[in-house]
Every structure is written in C-alpha cells, then in structure tokens.
C-alpha cells in the first residue's frame, strides 16, 4: 500500500518536493483529531481485553464503554442507554430501517427520499425488491422536500420514514422537526440519517421528534469503522446483527474498544467546538464560494443556500467535466469531490443532483468543497488562486465551451425522466 | 482514483492540438453532454495525397477522454486517411501505455470520432437505419456498436462491454440483452429442443410432488428454522401443514405462494397449494 501511495504522489505532483495537502473533502471523511488518537492508543496497546470477560483486566473496560456511551449521548442530549455502538453509519441506517420493518411485520410501506445516501437509498431499493412498497419522495430544484407530497405519501401501512438530516452532496438541511411532528401524531417510526449533521450543527433529541438517528465516527474526526445509533426510549427495536449479548442484546459483536473511545472523545470535542466552529466554517465557505462565482463565469451553487450546512458548498462549472477539474486541482494538492459520472464509479452522475433536476451540463461539472475545523483562510486563498485558471483552460478544451445548450428537456434525457417515473412506481 | 499512466497524465495536463480548424476538410463529432463525454475532431486533409496535414480536437470529458483525444491527433497527423482508418481503439490505448479497463470507452470514442471524420471527408453519411436497435437507453448504444466493439476487442463479458462502450453501466436494465448478444456472438449455435411436457399419471404426479418438496423446498425452509409436511394430494390440490418456525412466521402466505409457484413450474400449472 505504502509503495502505491508513493508512486501516486510521484506521478501526480509537479515536482519532487513534498506538497502540502489541502483537504476540502471532509464530507467524505475527516482526519482523526490528535486528541482522539491519543485517547485511543492505550486501547490498541495495553488494554486489549474483552469487555465481556469476567477478569478485571477485560471486565474493567466495560465501565469505559459506558463512559463513552454517556459522552456520545451528551452531544445530542440523549440518555446513555438510548445509544448503541455500531460499525459505521451504513450499519446504523440499515439497522434502523430493518428494526422498524421487523417490529411491524404487518406494515409493508417505507418512505424515504430520492436524495438519500446509498446506505438508505439502496437498502430501501433492496426491500422494494423483497416486496415492500417504497415511496421515494422528490425534491425541488433547490433540493428541498415538499411537505404536501410527504403528507400524501404517509398512510396507515407505513412502517418507517427515513429521511436524512442534511444532504452529503449539497449540504441542504431537511425540516426534520416539522416532518417528525406529523409522524409522531400518526405514531409512525421516524429515522433520520444524521451522519453529515452530528457535530456540525447542534442537535437536541429532546427537542426533535424522531425515534432513531444514525451517526458516524469518521465524519466528526473519529476513525473509520465506528458509528452509533440513537434509539429513543420506548421505540420498538429488533437487532440487525445477531449473536452475543453485547450492547444489551441490541448489537452483537465484540466491542471495537479503541474506536468507541475515539468516537466518544470526538463527540466531546464536537460539543466544545459547536459554539464557534459553524461561524468560522461559514466565513471560510462563503469567501470561497463568493470568489469562485465571481471569478468563474457559468458557475452556479447547487442546493438551497438558505438552509445548508456551514461547511459545504456544491458548485457547478458548466460545460466541463468534474474528474478533469479534480485531477487538475490534485496537481496543487487540493482535494475535493465531484458528482460527475466519471467519479461515481457507476458511469451515472450524482443521483442527488439528478433528483434536483440540475441540467446534465451542470451535473458533470459539479464540484463539492467540504471544510473542516482544520482548514485555514490561506488554504481557501490557494483554491481561489488556482481554480479560475483551471476552469478557463478546461473550457477551451471543451466543444461546449462557447455553446449555449438546451439540454433540460431534450429527448436525449428522456431516460432521466423515465427514471423518476420508475421510482414513483416503486 | 484511477491509476493513469505517465503518458495519460502528460496528455491530460498538456494536451496537444487543442481547438478547431477553420474551414476543415473533415469533421467528426461523437458523444453528448448527457452521456458525460463528447469529442469533436476537425481535420485538414491534403486533397492530392489524402494525407492528414493537421488535426485538432475539443473534448468534454474526464482526464482519459482528454488524453485519448490528444494522443489521437498526434497519431493521425501525417498519415494518409487509408492508414489512419486502420488505427484501432486498442492502438490508441497502447500508445498511452494502457488505460484503466473502466476507461476503455474513451479509446473507443476516439476511434469513433476518427471514423466519423473520415466518413465525413469521403462524403459518406452514416446511413441511419430505422432497424438499428438501441440496446442501452441510458447511453444510447446500439446493438451494432456492441457487436462491433466486442469483435474488435474480443470482449466476452457484460462487464467488458460496459468498460468499452458504457452500455449496461446506467440503470442496468439492458444487461440481459447484452448477455444475449454476447451469447449469440460467441456461442456455437445449437437449435433449442422444444420442451415436450408429458402427461403424468396420478401416481407419477404424487411421486414428483413429494420429490420436489423433499429435495428442494424442505431443505430451504429448514435452513431458516422452518419445515412443512405433506398432508394429502387430491388431483391438483396439494394440502400441506407448516411446521416449526413456519407456524408463526408472518411470511407464511408468501412461503405458501412460493411453493405453489415452484410446483406449478415443475409439475403442473394448475396446482393449488393449501394448508390443512
């Protein structure tokens, strides 16, 4: 692995001198905070015992897990026993949906949105193939949910509604409180995938009417391979991973000690940072966004700028392709991501931007910058310095550079509309 | 992230022959912005010698699409059009020191643009046959193109077809169709024997039903902690009793239905399964 990594750096860097990485892809994953790593190390070195053991050496760790649970709970103002540790956000999402489906076997309807993370979207599609009726709620051009369509979709057969807190690609925040209040009245289980929101914005489960919430460690400066699921007291629960008695029988498997400790420390840090961090990130993000829109023609922001995560911006540079932009940015050590087809690994561009009805010319050239507490203003300045030139150069290469395209309603993207019709039918 | 060769990187970062020739002798345009890549190739051709004097390109697409276009213009400059037409997509990829297999469709796009440009020069307009069947709706790939690329590159799996043409890489609904094309292309054709269903005697039917339930259905139920027992068989009516975990299983109705489907498929299409 190490050899490969070096080769890559050699291939892609301009010179042999080490280049500083400028990391603006924090919605994909964040670095591990140094405080978090320090806290974890003893559990990787000396305290290797199994918390389920009878001897003190292992058994004492059980107390540590409970302390960790309390810290994670505290970030979202939950009770410790309402938290179970999982292996990742995806596991938390799958567990939540499966739990509701297993708990209400007579109910055969699931509601989610078209813009969910694949952890929810593909799991729901999987259940649709198993015979469940799934409603994928549409969003408008700014990525907002329509409450009326939502109201129409809810019925007595609905086992669970799973709607993300904030979108990973655009940062758009959904009205979880409003949706939850409607669902609470109708006594329908409500799960929210808050992987992108926890640690970035304040979340108080005592104020918000959902029954389950997923969070992931590596999006808030903890390591990969750990997540948590909040389950409100009184919610029917059925385990997804079945085996030993860990997590009071709600999630089997020997506890990932070090990572759980890491997650708890990360949650503690997030809580400390919550009062200042959003403002700092918003300042940086707005500077970046404003400058790029000013310096690059034919660029647009995707998503509702009124209700958005502070650290995320998704900008489309029309008529050029995202992978090409990313690799040119890579030359300067700048890391971002794109919704273009070439970067998705599936040949199809971002399902989120397609659901929003963004024209293809803009989807393929979409770039997401997602900031972390470790980013600085000088890093932002570097992007502002190099980006306009990259865009300009790629546009001179593009046959569409100068043309005005009407690609919104051509027979060529009939498939896109058929796609939506198909999802409605599901 | 893709593992691109040095040459791909070089041609992506510093592409050669970018732009559009004024009053070109040949123009080749392929792809569309919807599909995520498009290439416009313009050529200047010496009429007497039929030699390509100049070639320029404009590409909308990823790094490998840009590199492919750039290397293509370098490869064809100075060649006669008869020489140029012999360049295959594999030649283009080889020239770049290879492409990641998922990116081979970029080399195919290069070759197509070249073909289109030469056809344009020769005044051959590509006949648009109504019969030409679209296989992949997502990327508008025809059966002819799939067959052609499959033969030229000896592709035998759907995955390879997707890597080279993108067909099947979108919604995936055309994958069975591609499988069929490949089967048709590479298999030695044996005429299928029509299935003749013999009329079973009552005794044979009962034996067959018992056999299927014992060998196919019960092991599957037992794997999930369930079981069943045959109570009686009257004509086409099979009466069974669910046992073990199946008794309280909320999916019991589905199970029953599945058993009925299986028996209908293998024994008689009029079979009805009921619990006794």
Q: What is the pLDDT of residues A47-94, one digit of tens each?
A: 999 999 999 999 999 999 999 999 999 999 999 999 999 999 999 999
Question: In this predicted structure, what is the pLDDT of residue A207?
Answer: 94
Chain A, nearest residue to B103 by Cα? A342
Q: Tokens standing for B266?
A: 């293998």
Q: Among residues B207, A131, B235, B267, which one has the least CA distance to residue B259?
A: B267
Record: contact B36-A341, CB cut-off 8 A: yes
- A52-88 exposure pattern, b = at least 16 Cβ within 10 A, e = fewer: eeeeeebeebeebbeebbbbbbbbbebeeebbbbbbb
What value of ipTM does the predicted structure carry? 0.79
User: CA-CA distance, B223 to B226, in Å (whole number)?
Assistant: 7
B146: how many CB neighbours lie within 10 A of its CB? Answer: 25
Mapped to the 3 state alphabet, what secondary structure does chain A carry? CHHHHHHHHHHHCCCCCCCCCEECECCCCCCCCHHHHHHHHHHHHCCCCCCCCCCHHHHHHHHHHHHHHHHHHHHCCCCHHHEEEECCHHHHHHHHHHHHHHHCCCCCEEEEECCCCHHHHHHHHHHHHCCCEEEEECECCCCCECHHHHHHHCCCCEEEEECCCECCCCCEECCHHHHHHHHHHCCCEEEEECCCCECCECCCCCCCCCCEEEEEHHHCCCCCCCEEEEECCCCCCCCCCCCCCCHHHCCCCCCCHHHHHHHHHHHHHHHHHCCCHHHHHHHHHHHHHHHHHHHCCCEEECCCCCCECCCEEEEEECCCCHHHHHHHHHCCCEECEECCHHHHCCCCCCHHHHHCCCCHHHHCCEEEEECCCCCCHHHHHHHHHHHHHHHHHHHHHCCCCCCCCCCCCCHHHHHHHHHHHHHHHC
- A332 in reach of chain B (CB within 8 A): no
The residue ranking higher by pLDDT, B233 or B45, is B45
User: CA-CA distance, A242 to B221, in Å (whole number)?
Assistant: 20
Query: Which residue ranges of chain A lie beneath pLDDT 70?
Result: 1-18, 343-346, 401-426
Record: contact B34-A407, CB cut-off 8 A: yes
Contacts of A131 in chain B (CB under 8 A): 254
Alpha helices in B85-142 (DSSP H): 89-95, 104-121
- A411 in reach of chain B (CB within 8 A): no
Record: contact A348-B170, CB cut-off 8 A: yes
What residues 229-248 of chain A have any CB closer than 8 A to a CB of chain B?
Answer: none
Choose among A319, A323, A415: nearest Cβ to B63: A323
CB B62 within 8 A of CB A342: yes
Mutate to test the interface with B, among A13, A364, A392, A423 (most CBs of B within 10 A): A364
Is B174 a catalytic site residue?
no
User: CA-CA distance, A288 to A336, in Å (whole number)?
Assistant: 13
Question: CA end-to-end span of chain A, whole Å?
Answer: 42
Q: Strands A227-231 and A212-216, how do they pair?
A: antiparallel
Record: contact A397-B33, CB cut-off 8 A: no
Tokens 């029509």: give the residue. Answer: B194
Record: contact B1-A8, CB cut-off 8 A: yes
Q: Strands B37-46 and B26-32, how do they pair?
A: antiparallel
Record: contact A347-B139, CB cut-off 8 A: yes
Chain A, nearest residue to B136 by Cα? A415
CA distance A364 to chain B (A): 6
CB A354 within 8 A of CB A423: no
Residue B234 has pLDDT above 50, yes or no: yes
Partnered with residue A308 across adjacent β-strands are A172
Is B138 a catalytic site residue?
no
Question: In this predicted structure, what is the pLDDT of residue B109?
Answer: 92
- A367 in reach of chain B (CB within 8 A): no
- A323 in reach of chain B (CB within 8 A): yes
Choose among A321, A340, A412: nearest Cβ to B32: A412
pLDDT digits (tens, 9 = 90+) for B99-134: 988 889 999 999 999 999 999 998 876 655 545 678
pLDDT digits (tens, 9 = 90+) for B59-103: 998 899 999 999 999 999 999 999 999 999 999 999 999 998 888
Record: contact B137-A405, CB cut-off 8 A: no
User: CA-CA distance, B171 to B150, in Å (whole number)?
Assistant: 21
Please identify which of the residues A124, A296, A335, A342 carries the catalytic annotation. Answer: A342
The residue ranking higher by pLDDT, A295 or B36, is A295
User: From chain B, which residues contact A within 8 Å (Cβ)?
Assistant: 1, 3-4, 6, 9, 12-13, 15, 18-19, 29, 32-40, 58-63, 65-66, 102, 137-140, 162, 166, 169-171, 250-251, 254
CA distance B10 to chain A (A): 10
Confidence tier at B197 by pLDDT (50, 70, 90): low
Choose among A320, A346, A415: nearest Cβ to B137: A415
Question: In this predicted structure, what is the pLDDT of residue B269?
Answer: 80
Question: In this predicted structure, what is the pLDDT of residue A411?
Answer: 46
Mutate to test the interface with A, among B36, B172, B248 (most CBs of A within 10 A): B36
Record: contact B62-A346, CB cut-off 8 A: no
CB B8 within 8 A of CB B103: no
Confidence tier at B226 by pLDDT (50, 70, 90): confident
- CA-to-CA separations, B273 to B231, B237, B250, B262, in angstroms, rounded: 11, 6, 18, 10
CB A325 within 8 A of CB A365: yes
What average pLDDT does range B257-271 have in this prediction?
83
Contacts of B40 in chain A (CB under 8 A): 399
CB B70 within 8 A of CB B15: yes
CA distance B184 to chain A (A): 26
Contacts of A328 in chain B (CB under 8 A): 13
Choose among B33, B102, B251: nearest Cβ to A400: B33
Question: In this predicted structure, what is the pLDDT of residue B173?
Answer: 84
CB A132 within 8 A of CB A110: yes
Record: contact A399-B40, CB cut-off 8 A: yes
CA distance A9 to chain B (A): 11
- A320 in reach of chain B (CB within 8 A): yes
Q: Among residues A419, A334, A423, which one has the least CA distance to residue A382?
A: A334
A297: how many CB neighbours lie within 10 A of its CB? Answer: 12
CA dihedral B173, B175, B176, B181 (to 10 degrees): 130
Residue B189 has pLDDT above 80, yes or no: no
User: CA-CA distance, A43 to A51, in Å (whole number)?
Assistant: 11
Record: contact A347-B32, CB cut-off 8 A: no
Query: B244: which DSSP letter?
Result: E
Choose among A131, A347, A413: nearest Cβ to B34: A413
Mapped to the 3 state alphabet, what secondary structure does B90-103 carry? HHHHHHCCCCCHHH
CB B73 within 8 A of CB B15: no
Size of interface A-B (CB pairs under 8 A): 97
- CA-to-CA separations, B206 to B42, B199, B215, B236, in angstroms, rounded: 73, 13, 14, 10
Question: In this predicted structure, what is the pLDDT of residue B144?
Answer: 86
Contacts of B33 in chain A (CB under 8 A): 319, 360-361, 364, 400, 405, 407
Record: contact B6-A11, CB cut-off 8 A: yes
CA dihedral B144, B148, B154, B160 (to 10 degrees): -50
With 0-12 CB in 10 A as exposed, 13-18 as middle and 19+ as buried, what is A405? middle
Q: Is B207 left (phi over 0), alpha (psi -120 to 50) or beta?
A: alpha
CA distance B68 to chain A (A): 13
CA distance B203 to chain A (A): 36
């Amino acid at each position: 692995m190490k050899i490969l990594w070096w080769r890559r750096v050699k291939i892609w860097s301009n010179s042999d001198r080490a280049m500083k990485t400028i990391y603006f892809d924090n919605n994909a994953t964040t670095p591990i905070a140094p405080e978090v790593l320090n806290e974890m190390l003893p559990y990787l070195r000396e305290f290797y015992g199994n918390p389920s053991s009878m001897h003190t050496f292992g058994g004492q760790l059980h107390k540590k897990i409970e302390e960790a649970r309390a810290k994670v709970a505290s970030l979202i103002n939950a009770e410790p026993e309402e938290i179970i540790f999982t292996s990742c956000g995806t596991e938390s999402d799958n567990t939540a949906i499966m739990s509701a489906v297993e708990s209400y076997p007579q109910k055969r309807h699931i509601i989610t949105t078209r813009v969910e993370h694949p952890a929810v979207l593909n799991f729901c599609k999987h259940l649709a193939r198993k015979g469940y009726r799934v409603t994928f709620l549409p969003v408008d051009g700014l990525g907002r949910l329509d409450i009326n369509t939502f109201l129409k979709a809810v019925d007595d057969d609905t086992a669970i509604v799973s709607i993300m807190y904030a979108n990973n690609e655009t940062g758009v925040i959904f009205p979880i409180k409003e949706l939850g209040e409607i669902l609470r009245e109708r006594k329908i289980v409500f799960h929210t995938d808050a992987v992108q929101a926890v640690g970035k914005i304040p979340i108080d489960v005592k104020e918000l009417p959902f029954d389950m919430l997923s969070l992931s460690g590596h999006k808030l400066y903890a390591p990969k391979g750990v997540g948590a699921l909040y389950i409100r007291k009184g919610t029917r629960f059925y385990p997804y991973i079945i085996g030993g008695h860990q997590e009071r029988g709600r999630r089997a498997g020997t506890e990932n000690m070090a990572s759980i400790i890491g997650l708890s420390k990360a949650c503690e840090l997030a809580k400390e940072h919550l009062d200042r961090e959003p403002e700092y990130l918003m300042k940086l993000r707005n500077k970046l966004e404003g400058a790029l829109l000013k310096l690059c023609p034919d660029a647009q922001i995707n998503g509702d700028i009124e209700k958005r995560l502070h650290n995320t911006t998704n900008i489309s540079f029309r008529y050029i392709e995202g992978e090409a932009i990313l690799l040119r940015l890579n030359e300067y050590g700048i890391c971002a991501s794109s919704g273009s087809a070439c970067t998705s690994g599936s040949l199809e561009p971002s399902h989120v931007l397609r659901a929003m009805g963004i024209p293809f010319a803009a989807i393929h050239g979409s770039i997401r910058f997602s900031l972390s507490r470790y980013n600085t203003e000088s890093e932002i300045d570097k992007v502002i310095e190099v980006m306009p030139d990259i865009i300009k150069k790629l546009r001179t290469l593009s046959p569409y550079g100068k043309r005005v395209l009407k690609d919104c309603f051509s027979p060529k993207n009939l498939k896109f509309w058929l796609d939506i019709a198909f999802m409605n039918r599901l | 992230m893709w593992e691109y060769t040095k040459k791909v990187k070089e041609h992506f970062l510093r592409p050669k022959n970018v732009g559009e020739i004024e009053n070109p002798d040949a123009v080749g345009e392929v792809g569309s912005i919807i599909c995520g890549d498009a290439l416009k190739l313009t050529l200047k051709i010496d009429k007497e010698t039929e030699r390509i004097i100049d070639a320029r390109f404009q590409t909308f697409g990823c790094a490998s699409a840009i590199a492919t276009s750039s290397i293509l213009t370098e490869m064809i400059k100075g060649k006669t059009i008869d020489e140029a037409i012999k360049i295959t997509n594999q030649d283009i990829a080889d020239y770049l020191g290879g492409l990641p297999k998922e990116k081979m469709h970029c080399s195919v796009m290069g070759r197509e643009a070249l073909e289109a440009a030469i056809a344009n020069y020769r005044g051959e307009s590509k006949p648009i046959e109504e019969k030409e069947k679209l296989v992949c709706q997502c990327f508008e790939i025809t059966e002819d193109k799939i067959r052609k690329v499959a033969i030229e590159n000896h592709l035998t799996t759907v995955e390879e077809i997707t890597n080279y043409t993108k067909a099947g890489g979108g919604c995936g609904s055309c994958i069975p169709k591609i499988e069929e094309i490949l089967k048709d292309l590479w298999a030695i054709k044996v005429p299928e024997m029509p299935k003749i269903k013999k009329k079973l005697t009552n005794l044979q039917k009962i034996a067959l039903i018992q056999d299927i339930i014992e060998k196919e259905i019960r092991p599957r139920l037992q794997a999930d902690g369930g079981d069943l027992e045959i109570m009686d068989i009257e004509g086409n009516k099979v009466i069974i009793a669910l046992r073990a975990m199946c008794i309280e299983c909320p999916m019991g109705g589905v199970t029953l239905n599945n058993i009925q489907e299986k028996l209908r498929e293998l024994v008689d299409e009029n079979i009805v399964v009921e619990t006794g």
